[in-house]
Amino acid sequence: MSNAPHRDQILIIEDEEIIRISLRKLLERHDYDVSDAVSIKAEVNVLTSATLH
């Protein structure tokens, strides 16, 4: 078990790459655990695959 402090998690869903990347960098600088996706459909596919493994 890790003794690292809990980091809040944020999911960014944005189709504009420059906005998605900029927002991700900003949030990571403020110590958020960030995931991103181009669309809700893409993220659902990722989450479904992760759940099945």
Per-residue pLDDT of 1-53, as tens digits, reads: 456 667 899 999 999 999 999 999 999 999 999 989 999 887 787 677 766 55
| Bridge partners for 9 per DSSP | 33
pTM for this model (two decimals): 0.69
| Positive or negative: CA dihedral 34, 37, 43, 45 | negative
Closest alpha carbon to 5 in 31, 40, 27? 31
DSSP 3: -
- Give the residue among 15, 10, 4, 53 at the shortest CA–CA distance from 37: 15
Could you give the CA distance from residue 37 to residue 20 in angstroms, rounded to a whole number? Answer: 8
